Amino acid sequence: MENLTSRFIRYAKIDTQSNPESDQCPSSDKQWKLANMLVKELKEMGMEDVTIDEHAYVMATLPSNIDKEIPVIGFIAHMDTSPDFSADKVSPQVHENYNGKDILLNKEKNIVLSPNDFEELKLYKGQTIITTDGTTLLGADDKAGVAEIMSAMEFLLQHPEIKHGKVRIAFNPDEEIGKGAYLFDVKKFGAKWAYTMDGGQIGELEYENFNAAGAVVTVKGVSVHPGTAYHQMINSMLIANNFISSLPKNETPETTKGYEGFFHLYQMKGTVEETTLNYIIRDHNRKNFEARKALFLQVAKAVNNGYEKPLVDVDMKDQYYNMKEKIEPNMHIVDIAEKAMIKAGVKPKIKAIRGGTDGAQLSFKGLPCPNIFAGGHNFHGKFEFVPVQSMEKAKEVIVNIISLTAES
């Protein structure tokens, strides 16, 4: 069996950034490299029904080794990494027996991962931590999940004395751009329920998430020479600023927590002639979510009312909904995961996701799919890290869920 640490590092070194500007699936050709590697490894370890489709969705089966009917369950992780931060030439750094102090990630650039900035580091004193080299993200989101599922399958194949039903696994592209479940073939997958291994800190167990929409605000202006601009120039950037300042100032990601929703401006590009604002709109409560979208459109209308013709256009699309309404009728699947964590010596931390997961969309496609920790911290940036012991526990939880499902 390959060491889980070395398996994760091998996957992390492969650049699999998704591309939000692409209309194809996978959105980046480089995701194929990891997908094809996983297919090869799954076949070599003895998994059955190993497939990869024209969109790089990888699926495989761990056959049942028990003489009774057991519900088919699944485990899912995504192969892509965030397009928001560099994933080129990822060079994971392994820090054994972490001493609880600052970790120098990059001496040349004086980049330090410090418990003064990230207090949760102190939780892992004495453990082995994998970090970046300070120049890229790490990719524990979600290659830790991929490695954990792969290692759990290998472990069960090597230990037939652990009784289990049929298990399906899948690895998909493009989760980070919200499209990971778009072309996921739930019928082909054939599981009664599944778990995404895509959470953060050890112990996380999540079956609630934001309702989510994306909005592109396009503001038109008129560009003329500033020397003759009087009553002729219309500066789209200033109009865009008016739009931004008209939204609630205390309802942004950096000012909210828990179940509080927000408006998040994550990208803006502008000239006098045209400015584009990219927003995401989030709320756990469906009624509040709809109210947020309505307010967003009202602000655009109010800004337009100040001009002779509309200058602000909003293209808004729903992305996913809170999977809670699909999970609650099937709470036994959360209970099994909770028991699996306790059996592994992990204290469950049941909480709502301040974001989304493929499991949200899959739940609405008929595959109830809570989310389980993969162990990483500080995703999507140079301070990302994952404790090896957390990954080992995640692998153990997978095995426990499978065996507990067979027992029950």
Rounded Cα–Cα distance for residues 175 and 182 (Å): 9
DSSP string, 120-162: GGGGGTTS-EEE--SSS---HHHHHHHHHHHHHHHHHHH-TTS
Q: What average pLDDT does range 99-123 have in this prediction?
A: 95
Q: 4-209+322-407, what's its fold?
A: Aminopeptidase (3.40.630)
Q: Are 303 and 242 in contact (CB under 8 A)?
A: yes
Query: What's the burial of 217, exposed, middle or buried (CB within 10 Å: 0-12/13-18/19+)?
Result: buried
Q: Give residue-wise pLDDT tens across range 12-26.
A: 999 999 998 999 999
What mean pLDDT is reported for the chain?
Answer: 95
% of the chain residues with pLDDT over 90: 94
E strand segments, 10-138 = 48-52, 58-62, 73-78, 93-95, 103-106, 111-113, 129-131
Q: What is the largest CA-CA distance in the chain?
A: 85
Q: Give residue-wise pLDDT tens across range 232-254.
A: 999 999 999 999 999 999 999 99
Q: What was the pLDDT predicted at 69?
A: 93
What are the structural domain ranges in the chain? 4-209+322-407, 211-320
Rounded Cα–Cα distance for residues 363 and 95 (Å): 38
Give the range among 6-10, 42-46, 120-124, 319-323 with minimum mean pLDDT: 319-323
Instruction: Write down the catalytic residue from 80, 133, 208, 251.
Output: 80
The single residue listed with the structure tokens 């601009």 is: 229
Residue 68's pLDDT band (boundaries 50, 70, 90)? Answer: very high
Structure tokens at 149: 């599922």
CATH class of the domain whose range is 211-320: alpha beta
Q: What average pLDDT does range 316-345 have in this prediction?
A: 95
Q: Are 337 and 401 in contact (CB under 8 A)?
A: yes
Q: Residue 48: name the closest of 33, 59, 37 by CA.
A: 59
In the predicted structure, residue 300 carries a pLDDT above the cut 80 = yes
Rounded Cα–Cα distance for residues 70 and 165 (Å): 5
Residue 1's pLDDT band (boundaries 50, 70, 90)? Answer: low
Instruction: Write down the catalytic residue from 148, 175, 283, 358.
Output: 175
Q: Residue 71: name the closest of 388, 341, 367 by CA.
A: 367
The single residue listed with the structure tokens 């739930």 is: 186
Rounded Cα–Cα distance for residues 287 and 118 (Å): 34
Cα 379 off chain centre by: 9
Q: What average pLDDT does range 120-143 have in this prediction?
A: 96
**175 is annotated as an active-site residue:** yes
